[in-house]
Amino acid sequence: MNLALRDELLRRMERDQAVRTATPLGQPMTEQAWQEWEQVDHDNTRFLKDVIAEHGWPGRDLVGDDASKAAWLLAQHADHDVVFQRRCLELLQAAAAAGQAALPDVAYLTDRVYVAEGRPQLYGTQYHEPDGRLQPRPIEDAEHLDQRRAQMGLGPHAEYDQHMHEQYDMPQEQPRELP
């Protein structure tokens, strides 16, 4: 196991989450907070690109479960570089097939990439607030959504939807990117 890489991935995940939770829900984000958020995402994307160039996808054997999850989170938040996110998705799918990454992470990143590409999501993980009302982004073949979610180790969408509303249903002056 590469402990130095593991520690750095975990440190970057902590920073990622710190900037995302610094402003309480329902409070407007300052311009400085938005700039810090974007800077963290750009720095983490550059870092993850270097990691992948040197090691490939940082899977469980290389960095452990928690740091592999951290790598997924950095890719999930690389929205400014969808081409890179798509590449990460391909690597993450291969890693999951080899037992080196978690299937739920693949589902979340799949939806993130599909939404960025203007396609309906497959697993119902991505939400937005058109007209101030929290709702899932468009879902392909919604009739079979829970079957697809189960295949990826996710619970029923109704439970996830309830969780999303409990966690994020607060009036906000500026939209936030959600999971």
Same-domain pairing of 107 and 153: yes
Q: Which residues of 15-44 are buried (b: 16+ CB within 10 A; e: fewer)?
A: ebeebeeebeeeeebeeebeebbeebbeeb
Same-domain pairing of 62 and 122: no
**Is 90 within the bounds of a domain?**
no
| pLDDT range class, residue 173, cuts 50, 70, 90 | very low
Mean pLDDT of the chain: 93
pLDDT at 55 over 60: yes
The torsion angle over the Cα atoms of residues 98, 159, 179 and 20, rounded to 10 degrees, is -120
Nearest to 3 by CA among 48, 58, 46: 58
Q: How many domains does the chain have?
A: 2
Q: Among 12, 47, 79, where does a domain finish? A: 79
Q: Please check whether residue 127 is in contact with residue 137, taking contact to mean a CB–CB distance below 8 angstroms.
A: yes
Task: Mean pLDDT check: name the lowest of 21-35, 38-52, 118-132, 146-160.
Answer: 21-35
User: Residue 132 has what pLDDT?
Assistant: 79
Residue with token string 């899977």: 59
More confident residue, 170 or 147: 147
Same-domain pairing of 155 and 115: yes
User: Residue 174 has what pLDDT?
Assistant: 45
Same-domain pairing of 37 and 70: yes
Residue with token string 């991505």: 126
Same-domain pairing of 13 and 75: yes
% residues pLDDT > 90 (the chain)? 84
Same-domain pairing of 73 and 121: no
Q: Cα–Cα distance between 15 and 37 in angstroms, integer?
A: 9
Nearest to 134 by CA among 104, 159, 109, 171: 171
User: Residue 170 has what pLDDT?
Assistant: 55
User: Residue 24 has what pLDDT?
Assistant: 84
More confident residue, 104 or 131: 104
Which residue(s) pair with 139 in the sheet?
Answer: 121
pLDDT at 57 over 50: yes
Three-class secondary structure of residue 128 per DSSP: strand
Q: Cα–Cα distance between 56 and 36 in angstroms, integer?
A: 28
Q: Among 64, 79, 94, where does a domain finish? A: 79
**Is 92 within the bounds of a domain?**
no
**Is 42 within the bounds of a domain?**
yes
Same-domain pairing of 59 and 1: yes
User: Residue 75 has what pLDDT?
Assistant: 98
Same-domain pairing of 60 and 111: no
Look up the domain containing 148 and give its range. 102-179
pLDDT at 162 over 70: yes
* pTM flag (> 0.85): yes
**Is 84 within the bounds of a domain?**
no
Q: Among 79, 114, 148, where does a domain finish? A: 79
